[in-house]
Amino acid sequence: MFPVPFALYADFESFITPSEEHVLSGFCCLRVSQFPQYDHKIHTYSGDNVVQEFLKYVTGEQTEIDSILLSDHSINPLTDRERLAHNAATICSTCENKFTENSYKVHHRCHVTGKYIAPVCNNCNLQLKNRKFGNKSFIPLFMHNARSYDSHFIIKNLHDPSKCKSPSHTHKFGKISSRSNRQHPFS
């Protein structure tokens, strides 16, 4: 019901050495957003330490996107049409329940732009926030071919079998975590 305002799409590039080892050579990451001024930011990297540079870049994107999403613009003045529609609304545009004394009508707005979105009940309005984990916004990262190939580069860099004390162990790099098994097939 409430689309994510930002998403990242990424892909690693690699080459095969004469000894048939797969070596990363770079990555590309595209930011897409529902906000035109922040949409279609593309970043490419080619060089050494690709996974570390990728994680550093994604962490920087997280910080920048969080600062955008934390902005709290007041609602823009409603147009005559918006005001009439809001005043005439008797049901919440999200849950489709009637407004009541306990579930009263409020102006749902975009906190980044201040644009009025719709009349919603106060309960839905409190739920229509950007998802957060801890103090960081939820930003989906879609990786091309991650299931079959690219994710193993990240896992190899996060997974250190010598540190495993149990069959299943969680590793963290900055704010990014990876869960892997001791006998990971890419180790």
- Whether the per-residue pLDDT at 178 is higher than 80: the answer is no
Q: Each residue of 43-95: pLDDT tens digit?
A: 999 999 998 999 999 999 999 999 999 888 899 999 999 999 999 999 999 99
Q: Of 83-87, 134-138, 169-173, which gets the smallest average pLDDT? A: 169-173
Tokens of 177: 């975590």
Residue 157 scores a pLDDT above 90:
no
Q: Residue 6 is encoded by which pair of tokens?
A: 């930002």
Maximum Cα interatomic distance, the chain, rounded to a whole number of Å: 73
| 35/33 Cα distance (integer angstroms) | 5
Long-range contacts of 47-52 (CB under 8 A, 24+ apart): 50/12, 50/24, 50/25, 50/26, 50/153, 51/24, 51/153, 51/154, 51/156, 51/157, 52/157
- For residue 126, the model assigns a pLDDT of 86
166, pLDDT greater than 60? no
Q: What is the pLDDT of residue 138?
A: 85
Q: What is the pTM of this model?
A: 0.72
Give the count of beta carbons closer than 10 Å to the beta carbon of residue 160.
12
The residue among 131 and 54 whose pLDDT is bigger is 54
Give the DSSP letter string of 111-138: TTT--EEEEEEHHHHHH-SPPEETTEE-
What's the CA gap between 140 and 54, in Å, rounded? 15
Are residues 155 and 20 in contact, defined by beta-carbon separation less than 8 angstroms? no
CATH 3.40.1800.10, the chain: domain bounds:
80-127
Q: Which CATH class is domain 80-127?
A: alpha beta
pLDDT range class, residue 160, cuts 50, 70, 90: low
What percent of the chain lies above the pLDDT cut of 90? 54
Q: Who wins on pLDDT, 105 or 171?
A: 105
Q: How much is the mean pLDDT over the chain?
A: 82
- pLDDT tens for 3-25 read 789 999 999 998 889 998 888 89
